[in-house]
Amino acid sequence: MLKVLMMGGRRCGKTSALASLFDQMIHGATNKYLTVCDDTTVETKVDPITHEIENKDSLSNKKLELLHFIEKGGCDTFLVDAAGPNRNFWDYKLRIQIPGTSKSATLQFRDSAGEFFDAGGMHHNEVVDFIKNCDVFVVAVDTPYLMAGSQAENEAANIVNSIQTFLTQIDNDEGRKEKQVIFVPIKCEKWIQEGKIDEVVQKVEKTYDATIRHLKATKKTEISIIPIQTAGDIIFSELRKAYILYNKQTKKKIKCAKESERMVILNNGEHHKIGPSEVVNEDMESTFVYLDLKGNEHPSILRPVAWYHLPIGRKAQYTPYNCEQLPLHIIRFMFYKMQKHAPGGIWGKLGSLIFGTITKEDLQEALTGLSRAGLIKDDKEGIKTLERCF
């Protein structure tokens, strides 16, 4: 089983990205060369803090959440944060099969809530241990904060220092084991549609420069950037200060933005006049605790909220794009690894062992087909490899 760790800040879109990735791999053109099924088992865990029972977000529910935003229509700006965060980690399994054979292998995606990656936090040692066993690291980047936030807001939302702390602990086994790190800008529809995806890629390189330099120095880490569209038509509008509309009678709280002293915009985009039993407060839940490279906490920053809109003048649609590039690049990396360590040597044997019953030759054939059909993309649409190790 090939282990992939999803990393990234709170609510940046990791689980939704996985939902679209599974969707595109299962239903997309690549299944002529590699058929795929969702091998995930249903699980329940207990929240470590509240002790409430948590159910794994099924990926199809995450897709439904995106569809719900898209189908509601209209041209007002709205908030996308529907369900609250959960605090556990979950494993999603994508089983890959060579068509017409029974040969298969599994990619296991470990998806944790953003809180897991707060360096120095309660999960610190757990994350460090898991990192040692992982083959691939996906760093989900919340593009609106990357591009529209101040430097502090971006570093806090995208937990840039914590990501560096963890990624510098990848175990390359003193240069013997190759690993792969992929930076994945998400929620980047606006920049794709405006033809500015290269600016996003440049900003990723700049923001994660220290991490990238460290990884390059290992000489055993492949580093890429793969921007993806998870939803395809939920377009970033602006970052606005976070407020809560509180109704003193019903005790109900709704996230909102302030229009004036008397008007707010509710999370669903509705304009609302503040009533006599209602007050508008700063949303204290939306504070970032900013961590430095030693894991020390710094004065918190009030987190602005990203507002989105649907395309104007046409119907919005769920159109995920390039999500399948992520597993395809991972599978290709796996193939290079198997090829390098074959024939015979201990790594060759191990290599085929950890990729199920699929052999190097099977993979080669599938990858050749995918390349000929133009289904694995390099050097276009913002997809870029910064460092190869084969």
Q: Is the Cβ of residue 358 or residue 383 nearer to ligand GTP in the bound state? A: 383
- CA 312 vs CA 235, 316, 335: distances in Å: 10, 9, 43
Contacts of 315 (CB under 8 A, 6+ apart): 73
Select from 12, 7, 86 the least CA-distant residue to 303: 12
How many residues form the binding site for ligand GTP (CB under 6 A)? 23
Sign of the CA dihedral with 338 first, then 342, 347, and 353 last: positive
15 binds Mg ion (CB under 5 A): yes
- Interacting partner of 187 out of ligand GTP, Mg ion, none (Cβ under 5 to 8 A depending on kind): ligand GTP
Cis peptide before 185 (omega within 30 of 0): no
Whole-angstrom distance, CA of residue 310 vs CA of residue 74: 7
Q: Is the Cβ of residue 15 or residue 230 nearer to Mg ion in the bound state? A: 15
Work out the number of other CB atoms within 10 angstroms of the CB of residue 246.
16
Binding mask 238-277 for ligand GTP (x = CB under 6 A): ----------------------------------------
Whole-angstrom distance, CA of residue 21 vs CA of residue 38: 11
Contact by Cβ (8 Å): 150, 193: no
Q: Is the Cβ of residue 92 or residue 355 nearer to ligand GTP in the bound state? A: 92
Joined together, the tokens standing for residue 339 give 């090829």
185 binds ligand GTP (CB under 6 A): no
88 binds Mg ion (CB under 5 A): no
289 binds ligand GTP (CB under 6 A): no
143 binds Mg ion (CB under 5 A): no
Please select the residue that binds ligand GTP; options are 187, 303, 329, 332, rule is CB under 6 A: 187
Please select the residue that binds ligand GTP; options are 230, 322, 325, 352, rule is CB under 6 A: 230
- Interacting partner of 158 out of Mg ion, ligand GTP, none (Cβ under 5 to 8 A depending on kind): none
Q: Which residue is nearest to Mg ion (CB)?
A: 15
Provide DSSP, 314-371. S------BSTTHHHHHHHHHHHHHHHHH-SSSHHHHHHHHHTTT--HHHHHHHHHHHH
16 binds Mg ion (CB under 5 A): no
Residues that bind ligand GTP (CB under 6 A): 8, 10-16, 62, 65-66, 80-82, 85, 113-114, 186-187, 230-231, 234, 308
Residues that bind Mg ion (CB under 5 A): 14-15
